[in-house]
Amino acid sequence: MKIKNKLTVACAALLAATMLLAGCDNGDEDKTANSTPKEIKSIGLMVQDMSNPFFSSMQKEAKIQAKKIGAKLNVQDAQLDLANQDNQISAFIEQKVDLIIVSAVDESGLKPAIERARNAGIIVVAVDTPAKGADAIITTNGVQAGNLSCTYLSEKLGGKGNILIVDGTPIQTITDRIKGCKTALKKYPGVKVVGQQASKNDRATGLSVTTDMLTANKDVQGIFGMNDPSALGASLAVEQAGRQKQIIVTGVDGSPQAVDELKRSGSSFIGTATQNPAEMVRQAVKFGQDTAKGKKPKKTTILIPSKMVTRDNVSEYKGW
């Protein structure tokens, strides 16, 4: 009897322990499943490179939106370093932010960090460039922007001439612009690409790679820069070579610096296809709020249209 009683007690204890563990597991699962914030009280904004005025504009709008909804804002600059962005997301997870808005340095490389954030219940919205694993992607229609810029360049060349392409880092946003440009060029068989090199998306490397290409290619009439900093660097290279009367340049962004250059007499820079960084942030915050309220939009990829700004219409352009 004593042995039987001991076995009964042991079995009962084991059953109780099993039920307790099962109860803990269910509780954890419920917590994970219901961890999406009910309100956006804190926002983490991650930009690629704050030296680019495009991202300064994002920061400015993020401050406006955070104040508007009563949320705290933390802005981080990756300085074009994937490891920095990975660490920044880890910090945001520790801080338990509700919404991360990120312009990813590497759309695939940041996926594990984004997944960690989402598993922690954080809403993640990719802006400017796609990022795998994000809840939503909000960006310029890059193919349209590249198409607009190279169409305008080709038209101003009269449909014939040799051009250079100042490419950039291999992220989707930029590859889309190059794709759009080359699609446009198919309509102008008289326009030939005689050189293409990648900058680091900034004015300094735009200047250096264009200088190299101009040295290698004496017969050039036009240049497409895949963003304004690179295009403005290209324009400076043209000016330093004393060829501003022979070569015209277009870009993509619609940046304040591009606007100034369009207004400058004698510049080789003649046009830019717009982006709207502030609208990207506004849309990202709206997506976050809707998701927190249980109204997650069905559309998770939002493309913002681009327009061409030239010397003829720059006075009508509102800018960033």
The pair of structure tokens assigned to 168 is 């950039």
Contact 146, 226 (CB under 8 A): yes
Q: What is the CA radius of gyration of the chain?
A: 26
pLDDT digits (tens, 9 = 90+) for 199-221: 999 999 999 999 999 999 999 99
Q: State the Cα–Cα distance between residues 2 and 206, nearest whole angstrom.
A: 88
Instruction: For residue 92, give Cα distances in angstroms to 35, 101, 320.
Output: 15, 11, 28
Residue-level pLDDT at 24:
40
List of E strands, the chain: 42-47, 72-77, 99-102, 123-127, 136-140, 160-167, 190-198, 222-225, 248-253, 269-274, 301-304, 308-310
Closest CA to 87 of 100, 78, 99, 79: 78
- The torsion region of residue 205 among left (phi > 0), alpha (psi -120 to 50) and beta comes to alpha
Return the residue matching tokens 């050189």.
195
Backbone CA torsion sign across 229, 231, 237, 242? negative
Closest CA to 250 of 227, 276, 274, 272: 272
Hey, how many other C-beta atoms are within 10 angstroms of the C-beta on 239?
A: 17
Contact 271, 223 (CB under 8 A): no
- In the sheet that holds 190-198, the strands lie side by side as 190-198, 160-167, 222-225, 248-253, 269-274, 308-310
Q: State the Cα–Cα distance between residues 311 and 294, nearest whole angstrom.
A: 46
Hey, how many other C-beta atoms are within 10 angstroms of the C-beta on 236?
A: 22
Contact 120, 35 (CB under 8 A): yes
Provide CB contacts within 8 A for 1, sequence distance 6+.
none
pLDDT digits (tens, 9 = 90+) for 243-282: 999 999 999 999 999 999 999 999 999 999 999 999 999 9
Residue-level pLDDT at 36:
80
Contact 73, 142 (CB under 8 A): no
Q: State the Cα–Cα distance between residues 222 and 235, nearest whole angstrom.
A: 10
pLDDT tens per residue, the chain (320 residues)?
444 444 444 444 444 444 333 434 333 333 344 478 899 999 999 999 998 889 999 999 999 999 999 999 999 999 999 999 999 999 999 999 999 999 999 989 999 999 999 999 999 999 999 999 999 999 999 999 999 999 999 999 999 999 999 999 988 899 999 999 999 999 999 999 999 999 999 999 999 999 999 999 999 999 999 999 999 999 999 999 999 999 999 999 999 999 999 999 999 999 999 999 999 999 999 999 999 999 988 899 999 999 999 999 999 999 99
Contact 132, 139 (CB under 8 A): no
Return the residue matching tokens 């249980």.
294
Contact 47, 55 (CB under 8 A): yes
Fold identical between 42-139+277-304 and 142-275+310-316?
yes
What is the architecture of the domain spanning 142-275+310-316? 3-Layer(aba) Sandwich (3.40)
Q: Domain map of the chain by residue range? A: 42-139+277-304, 142-275+310-316
Classified by CATH at the fold level, domain 42-139+277-304 comes out as Rossmann fold (3.40.50)
